[in-house]
Chains A and B, each alone.
Chain A
Amino acid sequence: MTTTQIETKPKRKVRNFALLSNKAGAAFLTPAGLLVSVFVIVPFFWVIFVSFTNRTLLGKTALNPEFVGLANYFTLFDPSNFLQRGQFGFSLILTTQFVLASALFGQALLGLLLAWLIQTVPPWVKRITETFVIAAWILPEVVIGFAWFAFLDRDQGTLNAMLTSVGLPKGDFLLEQPFWVIVVFNTWRGAAFSMMLFGSAFSSIPPSYFQAADVAGASSWQKFRDIGLPLIRGHIVTDLILITMWTFNTFTPFLLTNGGPSYRTELVSIYNYRVAFNDFQFGKGAAVGVIMMLINLAFALVYLSLGRKKKG
């Protein structure tokens, strides 16, 4: 078909062919490696180091911090005031309750319910419901914070307007029930993720499984319990770990309550902020950071080992 001469070019030797040579691969990894090292890996070790010092934001210990050993940790775990409001122990227990109520109970259950409901309802109901659930999740956190601030307003807020219209008394919820406000708030804010994760898990189940159950005369509840739930077990574990980690680390409630009133919504992330940037005690703040990271590490290891098992 052709008479063209085969051309000869200089030939480069390759020791072991790969689409990207090791040299190029290393070069490709360098920019990301540097950025991640400086802003993720270094902070991890630096925070440990700082937690053993009495470094502050201002004053002479800002420049020349002294090594104080475990003093910061002893302060955090001082048994005489550990559980008092505004102390680390109180904050830790509050955060645990917050994670249990808003993530494991609120987001996961509501997400599961929504994911299942949305499968069966008419498309327009599905679309509208999804739109608002997802809007709560994607809008910037300050906007959400302000929206709730308006929603919960004592005198004019939409919630109190609704309560009044059905003859119920008004309430200043941010003052009276701040913990339950942030629980509901976080459930509302994060349910979309669980809904979407479970939704895509459900839709990956072949429809024939459910049709076979239909033919056998199963009810909707039976289909959920006997087919849907067992088949998405892996996704449920993934979801629970992820939303636990995110809720544990979230700072968003700060935008609604500032951690108050009188420390009643001071999650560890907010506690950490107050200690470091309001009280200017970096050493102590770093110690809080270390404890948070240890807790994160425990969850991450569980999560990664699950992921590995799935692959292997």
Chain B
Amino acid sequence: MASVEFRNVTKTFGSFNAVSDVSFSIGDGEFVCLLGPSGCGKTTSLRMIAGLETPTAGQVLIGGDDVTHYHPKDRQISMVFQDYALYPHMNLADNIAYPLKVRGKSVTERHGRAREVADVLKIGHLLDRLPSQISGGQQQRTSLARALVYPSQVYLFDEPLSNLDAKLRLEARGFLNHLQRDMGMTAVYVTHDQAEAMALATRIAVMDQGQIVQYASPIEIYRRPATTFVANFVGNPPMNLVPVDAVHGDGQLQLSAIGITLDGLTMSSAISAALGGGKTLTLGVRPEHLAIAEPGAPNTISGQLFANENMGPESLVTIERPDGSRVTARIFTDDHIALNDAVTLGFSREHVHLFDGVGNRIPADGE
């Protein structure tokens, strides 16, 4: 196992900046998820670690060595591909043992080792089959087995679960989590699924437009999203974001928007700095921090019921505010609220997130 480091890495394709001046490091034994929408540069970053793309500028280090210009075969890494890349003409045993074959291992060693790994992944009984003769979930495990069959410095995963159906995906996610805890492997995992990233990662790098927006532990990203982009991307359903007008005087900050009542907040230096850029801020509250409240009570948002989706253990209650924007609450309710009924949703002070005019987080007191 080894660490990975990016030093001012840039990758351009023609005039398109896939990755712009990114620096970050991954500690030995860490499981880092690169999370972001498609085209954010996460896969390109992963492929630069693998050596399948060469950076336009900057350095990539694995275990302290500058591997920027190493051929992929010389990097001692493993990678699981989104489409699994199982060789259609080889049976599972040969697929799994291919890395050992190119390392010149004997047939007996190859097959013994392939069987060991396959047994752990519960595909030991399929070793004679061709990839086309097994299910999608089994194919996924075969590609994982091929990555685990030889010792690696870093394990790379390129959306390995995105081709599985929902149930298998959960199962595979649990297995990967177990594996990571068991092996303590250094892993870089690309995904656009925030739940996957939250479940697996020791740290998440949220990427947008070729840059890392926030690099922190899952809980930190959930509790203190650095930007409205992160707030919107992590959490399901995403955080409600409402533009509010800010007025401040005698140490107090008053925020106002139609249909919203808010207690005054204590002014902080961070807030006054943010207000230098304009007097519109963004207020954020997560759906799970909203609950039905009395109309007119402090710290509430009100509107008319737009939709009420029963999810089993909870409901997603969406209201439409007078300006047409919508706010969703994740609440436990059996109440029969009719369409267009007036609904008031309340939240508590400590669950309020504030973002400045360009979407950056304004740290709360004590952050």
| A–B contact at 8 Å CB threshold (below) | yes
Give CA–CA (A16, B56) in the complex, Å.
Answer: 9
- By the criterion CB–CB under 8 Å, are A17 and B74 in contact? no
- The B58-95 residues at the A interface (CB cut-off 8 A) are 69-72, 74, 76
**Is A17 a contact of B76 with CB atoms below 8 Å?**
no
Interface of B is mostly: loop
Say yes or no for A310: interface residue by CB 8 A criterion.
Answer: no
Q: Report yes or no: B151 in contact with A5, Cβ–Cβ below 8 A.
A: yes
Please, what's the 1-or-0 string for A1-39, where 1 marks a CB less than 8 Å from any CB in chain B?
A: 110111101011111110000000000000000000000
A16, B117: Cα distance in complex, Å: 34
Q: Which residue of A lies closest to B103 (CB)?
A: A7
* Residue interface mask A51-68, B partner, CB < 8 A = 1: 000000000000000000
Complex CA distance for A2 and B183, rounded to whole angstroms: 9
Q: Given A1-B182, A6-B151, A13-B70, list of 7 further CB < 8 A pairs?
A: A2-B151, A5-B151, A6-B152, A7-B103, A14-B51, A14-B69, A16-B54
A258 CB → nearest B CB, Å = 51
User: Which A residue sits closest to B153, measured CB to CB?
Assistant: A6
Q: Contact size class for B?
A: 20 to 34
Is B52 close to A, CB under 8 A? yes
A14 near B182 with CB under 8 A, answer: no
User: What 0/1 pattern do residues 190 to 226 of A give for CB contact below 8 A with B?
Assistant: 0000000000000000000000000000000000000
Q: Given A6-B151, A6-B153, are A12 and B76 also a contact pair (CB < 8 Å)? A: no
B301 located at the interface, meaning its Cβ lies under 8 Å from any Cβ of chain A in the complex:
no
Q: Does B148 contact A (CB under 8 A)?
A: yes
- Shortest CB–CB separation between residue A2 and chain B, in angstroms? 5
By a CB distance below 8 angstroms, the chain A residues around B182 are 1
The one of B69, B70, B74, B148 that contacts A1, using a Cβ cutoff of 8 Å: B148
The answer to whether B74 touches A12, judged by C-beta atoms less than 8 angstroms apart, is: yes
Q: List 20 A-B contacts (CB under 8 A).
A: A1-B148, A1-B182, A2-B150, A4-B150, A4-B151, A5-B151, A6-B151, A6-B153, A7-B103, A11-B70, A12-B74, A13-B69, A13-B70, A14-B69, A14-B70, A15-B54, A17-B52, A17-B53, A17-B54, A17-B72
Give the distance to chain B from A24, nearest Cβ to Cβ, in Å.
13
Q: Chain B contacts of A14 at CB under 8 A?
A: 51, 54, 69-71
Could you tell me the distance in whole angstroms from the C-beta of B75 to the nearest C-beta in chain A?
Answer: 9
- Measured between alpha carbons, how far is A196 from B103 in the docked complex, in Å? 48
Contact partners of B117 in chain A: CB under 8 A: 1
Q: State in angstroms the CA–CA spacing of A11 and B65 once bound together.
A: 12
Tell me which residues from 175 to 223 in chain B have a Cβ below 8 Å from any Cβ of chain A.
182-183
- Distance of A40 Cα from B186 Cα, bound (Å): 55
- Within 8 Å by CB of B69, from A6, A9, A15, lies A15
Distance in Å: Cβ of A3 to nearest Cβ of chain B:
8
